[in-house]
Amino acid sequence: MIAYLRGRILRLSEDMVVVEAGGVGYEVHLPAVIARALLAAPEGEVALYISYHVTANQPRPLLVGFLREVEQEFFERFITVDGMGPTKAVKAISHPVHVLADAIERKDVHFLRRLPGIGERTAEKIVAALHGKMAKYALLQEAEVAPTPPAEDFRAEVMEVLTRQLGHRQAEAKRMVEEALRRNPGISNAEDLFQEVYRAQRQETAEPAAPRTT
């Protein structure tokens, strides 16, 4: 099984890249949002986290590539939805992961059904299967920072993910975690803590700006 590839780009298109690694050219399928990122800033070398798929009905391996491990992790959850195979999921991811995750958490079926290959029924299945599990991915930021020390408990695990994978600054992540635990001291696992942090972030962005005074 292939989980990670790093090598020279031999060919790049809107939905696929061929990566030369160890003298072998690997054909890797790309969601549109990942392909756009590579096409906008083409490099001689690329590093991709791989979601690897092969079945009895599809013996030819399907490799799907992502720039970040957290994006690959989102994809693995996305394909657990009934009827959402890897090929269909690749086409559907036409927006950044945090946008899709946020839509799922808001139960925005109207947005989801407009994704390529996703109709009303599939959009409803996505919400039913994944709502309440996407807060971590909805918090993803564009910038990346240096990794934090290994997690020792669920609070440290959330801190590590917020900074290392989701791009939040250390001080900001600490504030978010501390405030979430202060609001809900009964939290006892990482997923519930992500959910509380995400809920607070949603409330902050929804609050109207204070009126300007003259």
> Could you write out the DSSP letters of every residue in the chain?
---EEEEEEEEE-SSEEEEEETTEEEEEE--HHHHHHHHHS--SEEEEEEEEE--SS--S-EEEEESSHHHHHHHHHHTTSTT--HHHHHHH--S-HHHHHHHHHTT-HHHHTTSTT--HHHHHHHHHHHTTS-HHHHT--S---PPPPPPSSHHHHHHHIIIIIT---HHHHHHHHHHHHHH-TT--SHHHHHHHHHHHHHHHHHSPPPPP--
In order of their start, the domains of the chain are 4-66 (2.40.50.140), 69-136 (1.10.150.20), 139-206 (no CATH)
58-111 pLDDT, tens digit each: 778 899 999 999 999 999 999 999 999 999 999 999 999 999 999 999 999 999
11-51 pLDDT, tens digit each: 998 899 999 998 999 999 999 999 988 887 656 789 999 99
This prediction has a pTM of 0.76
Q: Is the pLDDT of residue 144 over 60?
A: no
101-138 pLDDT, tens digit each: 999 999 999 999 999 999 999 999 999 999 999 999 99
Length of the chain as a residue count: 214
Q: Which residue has the higher pLDDT, 45 or 176?
A: 176
